[in-house]
Amino acid sequence: MTLPKHIAIIMDGNGRWAQLKRKPRTFGHIKGTRVAKKIITACSRRGIKNLTLYAFSSENWFRPQAEVSFLMKILRRYLDRETENLVKENIRFSVIGDLSRVPADVYKAILQAGEATAQCTGLNLVFALSYGSRQEITLAVREIAERVAAGELSPDDIDEAMISTSLSTYPTPDPDLIVRTSGEQRLSNFLLWQAAYSEFYFTEVLWPNFTESHLEEALSAFSVRQRRYGKVSTNDNLEKLSN
């Protein structure tokens, strides 16, 4: 079975899951964090090399203050409790996104988890936190423009590889598979450049109900996809096409 080298997951539906149970949205976020933990371990055991989890978007800052604070609190709690386990499971942790906006205690916990797991060689686990792909691309463009203005680069030097390496995801490869739960079929400002040739897998399952067997379903759907990258697949008969 062909495994994706990089899976990116838009973990969506926590609020609706809680609402169905007549509970506050925060209840859904707590269950969602537990599910994230399980899926991280499952990907690690499955031999997936890279996993990016969309944990909080740059637009999520516009949610009610109480929900934002709660999300920051559970993130910090997750890091405090899980860092040791990540080390044990040989998982390297890092974050992409605008960390200047996260509270100081969360920022510290992120740094600590990053340092503690820096030497780990198993799963590369990336949390997209306070992340927005348009902001990421804007920053990269600005940085390249500054180098041109400083005379270090000529505009002709700018190519796709330079843009890729200027993004915060570098050196993680582009995602082969992007999963989104809860029935929504959009990217919501996630990995816009990097998703150029990603396979998409949408499921109605709400994130708090997502299990290891749902992950297996996504992986087996991926394994039978034909990725053509604009070319014709090797077993396509060109004569047949021209008839």
Q: Where are the alpha helices (DSSP H) in the chain?
A: 14-20, 25-46, 65-88, 104-116, 133-149, 160-166, 212-223, 238-242
Name residues contacting ligand IPE, limited to 42-81 (CB under 6 A): 54-57, 60, 71
25 labeled binding residue: yes
Query: Has 156 been annotated as catalytic?
Result: no
Nearer to ligand IPE, 38 or 186 (CB): 186
Q: Is 114 annotated as a binding residue?
A: no
- Determine the residue with CB nearest ligand IPE: 15
Q: Which does 10 bind (CB under 5 to 8 A by kind): Mg ion, ligand IPE, none?
A: ligand IPE
**Least distance from C-beta 232 to ligand IPE, angstroms?**
35
82 binding Mg ion? (CB under 5 A): no
Q: What distance in Å separates the CA atoms of residue 63 and residue 69, rounded to the nearest whole number?
A: 10
- Would the annotation count 59 as a binding residue? yes
Give the binding range for Mg ion (CB under 5 A) out of 4-12, 56-64, 160-168, 225-233: 4-12
Q: Cβ 181 to ligand IPE, closest distance in Å?
A: 8
Of residues 74, 47, 77, the one with CA closest to residue 219: 47
Residue 50 Ramachandran class (φ > 0 left, ψ -120 to 50 alpha, else beta): beta
- Regarding 144 and contact with ligand IPE (CB under 6 A), the answer is no
Tell how many helices (H) and how many strands (E) occur in the chain. Answer: 8, 6
CB crowding 55-86: b at 16 or more within 10 Å, else e: bbbbebeeeeeeeeebbbebbbebbeebbeeb
Q: How many Å apart are CA 139 and CA 113, to the nearest integer? A: 25
Residue 12 annotated among the catalytic residues of the structure: yes
Out of 7, 14, 176, 179, the only residue in the binding site for ligand IPE (CB under 6 A) is 14
Q: Does 25 bind Mg ion (CB under 5 A)?
A: no
Stretch touching ligand IPE by CB under 6 A, among 96-104, 150-158, 182-190, 225-233: 182-190
Q: Binding residue per annotation — 12?
A: yes
Residues at the contact surface with ligand IPE, assessed by CB under 6 A? 10-16, 54-57, 60, 71, 182, 184, 186, 188
Residues at the contact surface with Mg ion, assessed by CB under 5 A? 12
| Catalytic positions | 12, 60
Q: Output the known binding site for substrate.
A: 13-17, 25, 29, 57-59, 61, 63, 180, 186-188
